[in-house]
Amino acid sequence: MSEERVGFFTDTSVCIGCKACEVACKEWNAIPEDGLSLTAMSYDNTQALGASTWRHVAFIEQPRPEGRTELPLAQGESTAQETPVGGDGELRWLMSSDVCKHCTHAACLDVCPTGSLFRTEFGTVVVQEDICNGCGYCVPACPYGVIEQRPHDGRAFKCTMCYDRLGAGREPACAKACPTESIQFGPLDELRERAALRVDQLHEAGVTDARLYGHDPDDGVGGDGAFFLLLDRPEVYGLPPDPVVTTRDLPAMWQHAGTAALSLLGGLAACFALTGRGRR
């Protein structure tokens, strides 16, 4: 890595769900449209990250009365009348822009048999379209469900953190387009410091739900190059609670495969030894 490692800090506490990141990403990277159907999942018609979706804004509507100070809007009986006709208590609307995590230990990169996926000088993980041969191994390897093969093409695509823009000294398109600085781009060390301060600030303000996700270099993927400030458990946003890079266990797997192969060899040898030579 010849340059400083850079990344994203996505502070979902200030995301307004405008989806400018999704559009900027598609415009800059010339990604095809991938579906024109209404999902009825709040305002999320994108559904998930994928071959043609490198930023995805999740919308979560939660009934969540506790922990919030409500000022009565009017005196008298109006509050007493708040007997719901249906389940209509207080609710909160969580929005969060998801992206490739650019893991420190990236399973997609590890398992790629062609060398198409590589670690750039910025510490990011990028697929080289001309080398990818469409084997699809990276897809189930990713613990976050980020990378995907494009239908009718077969090759895998995902966020490049705008590798071309980084090379020209520019920030990625999504961060540039974000109007609230929910998506922050910069040197990873700086972002981690900033994120820790932000969590403290939110805790002091009474937002006890605030937590960081993917910031810890000691987690199962060695820390994410794109990490998040969330207001609920990761799984609520469709993120795995405790992802582990699958290749962490690869030495053990090879060992067991070797032992199993030897067992096969030994077992069959034993059969021949037991049954002897010739016609039996």
Partner 1 sequence: MSTTGRAGRRRRRGEQPVVPRADFESYYGRPVIKAPSWAAPDIAGYFFLGGLAGAGSVLAAGAHLTGRTTTATALKVSSLAAVSLSAAVLIHDLGKPSRFANMLRVFKPTSPMSMGSWLLGAYGPAAGAAAASAVTDRSPRLGGAATGAAALLGPVVATYTAVLAADTAVPAWHGVHRELPYLFAASATAAASGMALVVGPTDENAPARCAAGLAALADAAVTKAAERRLGMVAETWREGRAGALLRAAQVLTAGGAVTGALFGGRRGGAVASGLALLAGSACTRFGVFAAGIASAKDPRYTVVPQRERLDEASA
Partner 2 sequence: MAQLDGDCKGYFLMGENPAVGSANTRLQRLGMANLDWLVVRDFSLIESATWWKDGPEIETGELRTEDIGTEVFFFPAAAHTEKSGSFTNTNRWVQWHHQAVEPEGDARSDLWFMYHLGRRIKEELAGSTDPMDRPVLDLVWDYPVDGELDEPAADAVLAEISGHGPGGDPLSAYTELKDDGSTRCGCWIYCGVYADGVNQAARKKPEWEQDWVAAEWAWAWPANRRILYNRASAAPDGTPWSERKKYVWWDPGQGRWTGRDVPDFVPDRAPDFEPDEDATGPDALRGDDPFIMQADGKGWLYTPAGLEDGPLPTHYEPQDSPFPNALHPSTPRNPVRHLMPREGNRYHPSGDEKGAEVFPYVVTTHRLTEHFTAGGMSRWSEYLSELQPEFFCEVSPALARERGLENGGWATIVTARNAVEARVLVTDRIRPLRVEGRAVHQIGLPFHWGPNGVARGDAANELMAIALDPNAHIQEDKALTADIRAGRRPRGPDLPKLVAEYRSRAGITPDTGTEVRK
CB 130 within 8 A of CB 269: no
**Least gap, CB of 74 to partner 1 (angstroms):** 27
Asked if 65 is part of the footprint of partner 1 (rule: CB under 8 A), the reply reads no
Q: Which does 86 bind (CB under 5 to 8 A by kind): partner 2, partner 1, none?
A: partner 2
Per CB under 8 A, the segment of 140-148, 177-185, 199-207, 209-217 that binds partner 1 is 140-148
Q: Which of residues 112 and 162 has its CB atom nearest to partner 1 in the complex? A: 112
Q: Which of residues 3 and 61 has its CB atom nearest to partner 2 in the complex? A: 61
CB 119 within 8 A of CB 225: no
Q: Which does 88 bind (CB under 5 to 8 A by kind): partner 2, partner 1, none?
A: partner 2
CA atoms within 13 A on the CB side of 108: 32
Q: Which of residues 236-255 bind partner 1 (CB under 8 A)?
A: 236-243, 246-247, 249-250, 252-254
Amino acid at 209: D
Asked if 62 is part of the footprint of partner 1 (rule: CB under 8 A), the reply reads yes
**Least gap, CB of 10 to partner 1 (angstroms):** 16
Q: Is 108 annotated as a binding residue?
A: yes
Q: Is 159 annotated as a binding residue?
A: yes
CB 156 within 8 A of CB 148: yes
Asked if 231 is part of the footprint of partner 1 (rule: CB under 8 A), the reply reads no
H or E segment to which residue 256 belongs: helix 250-275
Q: Which does 196 bind (CB under 5 to 8 A by kind): partner 1, partner 2, none?
A: none
Q: Is 132 annotated as a binding residue?
A: yes
Among 180, 201, 208, 263, binds partner 1 (CB under 8 A): 263
Q: Which does 254 bind (CB under 5 to 8 A by kind): partner 1, partner 2, none?
A: partner 1
**Least gap, CB of 27 to partner 2 (angstroms):** 7
In terms of residues, how long is the chain? 280
Question: Cα(80)–Cα(222) distance, rounded to whole angstroms?
Answer: 52
Q: What is the three-class DSSP state of 234?
A: helix
Pairing of strands 6-11, 55-63: unpaired
Q: Which does 15 bind (CB under 5 to 8 A by kind): partner 1, partner 2, none?
A: none
CA atoms within 13 A on the CB side of 33: 4
Question: Cα(227)–Cα(56) distance, rounded to whole angstroms?
Answer: 14
Q: Is 271 annotated as a binding residue?
A: no
Q: Is 274 exposed, middle or buried (0-12, 13-18, 19+ CB in 10 A)?
A: exposed
H or E segment to which residue 59 belongs: strand 55-63
Asked if 35 is part of the footprint of partner 1 (rule: CB under 8 A), the reply reads no
Question: CA 121: distance to chain centroid?
Answer: 21
> Cβ atoms within 10 A of the Cβ of 235, count?
10
Question: Cα(219)–Cα(227) distance, rounded to whole angstroms?
Answer: 12
Instruction: Give contact residues for partner 2 (rule: CB under 8 A).
Output: 17-19, 22-23, 26-27, 33-40, 42-43, 45-46, 61, 63, 78, 81, 84-89, 91, 93
Per CB under 8 A, the segment of 23-31, 42-50, 176-184, 205-213 that binds partner 1 is 42-50
User: Residue positions in the annotated binding site?
Assistant: 15, 18, 21, 25, 100, 103, 108, 112, 132, 135, 138, 142, 159, 162, 174, 178
